[in-house]
């Protein structure tokens, strides 16, 4: 009898361990799906420029868009926007250039965006962004990277400033297996 109780207890613990592992494995896709559905954490989808050209600009209103850049960790990179901020009319397409310089060894980086306030994320439309792909950074080289965007005229009237921040991360390269 005692062995049967121990066996059931061990089985329950095993199920809990498997469930915890499964939850941890599924957490990232669940988080991404939630962010996409709610438009939070700076996650925005690529939009065709042609679709945005039909949007009528709201010339009666301006919104300040601030650009904040950081490099994660101690990566030997310089990363900045050419302009710290711009004033835009919602509905107009704008291009802002970002500069990155690698002072270390050859590497690949990925910029991760974040948008504040959180409810402005669903109103930011990007047609082109370096944040969509990994960026190779050859040693000692500098690159200019464009970000083309529009603030949707449906942005709530109480939002006058949108902060778009990018954190540049090193993407570990996996050696090819032959």
User: Does the pLDDT at position 127 exceed 50?
Assistant: yes
Tokens representing 124 are: 């930011």
Quote the DSSP letter at residue 47.
Answer: -
pLDDT confidence of 5, banded at 50, 70, 90?
confident
- Sort 65 into a burial class: Cβ within 10 Å, 0-12 / 13-18 / 19+: buried
Nearest in space to 67 (alpha carbons), one of 86, 41, 39, 93: 86
pLDDT confidence of 178, banded at 50, 70, 90?
A: very low
102 contacts 141 by C-beta, under 8 angstroms:
yes
Task: Report the distance separating Cα 2 and Cα 116, nearest Å.
Answer: 58
Q: Are 163 and 136 in contact (CB under 8 A)?
A: no
**Tens digit of pLDDT for each residue in 64-89?**
999 999 998 877 889 999 999 999 99
Q: Is the pLDDT at 62 greater than 80, yes or no?
A: yes
pLDDT of 28 reads 61
* pLDDT bucket at 43, cuts 50 / 70 / 90: very low
Quote the pTM value. 0.69
The residue that leads in pLDDT, 42 or 113, is 113
Of 149, 111, 144, 121, nearest in space to 36 by CA: 121
% residues pLDDT > 90 (the chain): 39
Q: What mean pLDDT is predicted for residues 115-121?
A: 91
The count of other CB atoms within 10 Å of the CB of residue 124 is 21
Report d(CA 171, CA 109) in Å as an integer.
5
Give CA–CA dist 120/64, Å, rounded: 12
Q: Find the DSSP H helices in 60-145.
A: none
């Amino acid at each position: 009898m005692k062995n049967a109780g121990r066996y059931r207890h061990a089985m329950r613990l095993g199920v809990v361990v498997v469930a915890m592992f499964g939850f941890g494995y599924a957490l990232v896709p669940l988080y991404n799906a939630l962010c996409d559905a709610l438009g939070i954490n700076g996650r925005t989808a690529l939009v065709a420029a042609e679709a945005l050209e039909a949007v009528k600009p709201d010339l009666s209103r301006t919104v300040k868009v601030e650009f904040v850049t950081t490099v994660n960790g101690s990566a030997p990179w310089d990363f900045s926007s050419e302009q710290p901020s711009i004033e835009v009319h919602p509905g107009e397409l704008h291009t802002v250039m970002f500069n990155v310089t690698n002072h270390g060894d050859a590497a690949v980086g990925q910029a991760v965006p974040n948008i504040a306030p959180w409810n402005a994320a669903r109103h930011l439309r990007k047609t082109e962004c370096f944040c969509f792909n990994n960026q190779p950074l050859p040693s000692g080289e500098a690159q200019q990277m464009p970000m083309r965007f529009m603030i949707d005229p449906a942005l709530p009237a109480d939002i006058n400033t949108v902060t778009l921040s990018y954190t540049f991360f090193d993407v570990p390269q996996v050696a090819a297996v032959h």
